[in-house]
Amino acid sequence: MERIGIIGFGRAGGALGAALASAGYPVTGVSARSRASRERAARLLPHVPVLEPAEVVAGADVVLLAVPDDVIGAVATSLPFTEDQYAVHLSGAHGTAVLRGIAATPVALHPPMTFTDAPVSLAGVVFTATAPERALVERLVKDLGAEVQWIAEEQRALYHAGLVHGANHLVTLVSQALDVLREAGVVDPAATLRPLLTATLDNTLRSGHDALTGPIVRGDVETVQAHLAVLRGRPASTYAELARATVESAAGDGRLDAETAAEFVQVLERDRTGEAPR
């Protein structure tokens, strides 16, 4: 099996390094600058030496560049790569262009996961890859119990935007909903929301926008108007914007008739401007 070196031992680098080691790949060295990274390396890979980055590269066939997006290119070009090596970065937003100019075969391999310091299983995760060669990447991912999909270099930013919009903005949305419920006097808003959110997320992942329920798809204009009134001035400012998008979608697929959609637009515009649109 290929020898694995890891540059940067944050949460993603630590999780993948530990997973590859568990899959039988020899991890020959890691670089870890911060105290937290060194402690993570000692915990997850206690028998692997912590080395200088150039030493990590010298002893590996595949080098994971688990560093922040903005420094991937600078770090890669500073290292002594050779033509028989693979340089693998973990960014979702970047493709292989950020590795332009190095001797190694460039690979963009992104695991769409949130990593913590707790052990994590990669089984069932669908990695997204961009690379000039596929065989090694597909074998590595398969050995992790995961899957891989391939996208073009020019689609990396769009791919990452979809992930961020779905995952990061979900945190904002749910946090706002928890705050509203808490203000309404709900003692345990998480317990209240959990069954509904779990079912909704599962249905949406299966059926897309067909999973939509609630006042907009039912045409309950007065209910939405009441929501806007009680939320005005509160932090849950995304309600109106998401309502607009929901109206457009429901009208676009025919579940909301044009007249009712126009009423929703009027109510939402009045909330935005403080007066009815002309």
Chain segment 86-99, per-residue pLDDT in tens: 999 999 999 999 99
Nearest one of 127, 124, 128 to 155, comparing CA atoms = 128
- Structural Rg of the chain based on CA atoms: 24
Query: If you search the block for the tokens 């045409």, which residue do you land on?
Result: 219
- The 8-class DSSP code of residue 61 comes to S
- Phi and psi angles of residue 104, each rounded to the nearest 5 degrees, phi first: -70, 160
Max CA-CA distance within the chain? Answer: 71
> How many other C-beta atoms lie within 10 A of the C-beta of residue 255?
16
141 confidence band (pLDDT: 50, 70, 90): very high
AA identity, residue 137:
V
Nearest one of 126, 162, 116, 122 to 147, comparing CA atoms = 126
pLDDT at residue 233, as a whole number: 80
Print burial letters for 105-136: b (CB count within 10 Å at least 16), e (below 16). bbbbbbbebeeeeeebebeebebbbbbeeeeb
Global confidence as pTM = 0.86
pLDDT at residue 91, as a whole number: 96
Query: If you search the block for the tokens 């706002």, which residue do you land on?
Result: 176
36-69: pLDDT as tens digits:
999 999 999 999 999 999 999 999 999 999 999 9
Nearest one of 68, 86, 77 to 13, comparing CA atoms = 68
Q: What mean pLDDT, rounded, does the chain reach?
A: 93
Q: How far is 95 from 272, CA to CA, in rounded Å?
A: 39
Q: Lowest-pLDDT range, 42-56, 142-156, 232-246? A: 232-246
Query: If you search the block for the tokens 């980055």, which residue do you land on?
Result: 53
Q: Is 272 helix (H, G, I), strand (E, B) or coil?
A: helix
Q: How far is 262 from 158, CA to CA, in rounded Å?
A: 31
17-30: pLDDT as tens digits:
999 999 999 999 99
Our separate counts of H helices and E strands in the chain read: 11, 7
185-227: pLDDT as tens digits:
999 999 999 999 999 999 999 999 999 999 999 999 999 999 9
Sheet-wide strand order for 4-7: 27-31, 4-7, 62-65, 86-89, 105-110, 126-130, 147-150
Q: How far is 64 from 4, CA to CA, in rounded Å?
A: 7
Cβ atoms 16, 64 nearer than 8 A = yes
- Phi and psi angles of residue 125, each rounded to the nearest 5 degrees, phi first: -70, 140
pLDDT at residue 275, as a whole number: 58
pLDDT at residue 145, as a whole number: 95
Give the DSSP letter string of 130-187.
E-S--HHHHHHHHHTT-EEEE--GGGHHHHHHHHHHHHHHHHHHHHHHHHHHHHTT-S
> How many other C-beta atoms lie within 10 A of the C-beta of residue 230?
12
- On the question of pLDDT at 277 being above 80, the answer is no
- On the question of pLDDT at 120 being above 90, the answer is no
236 confidence band (pLDDT: 50, 70, 90): low
Q: Which residues pair with 31 in a beta bridge?
A: 7
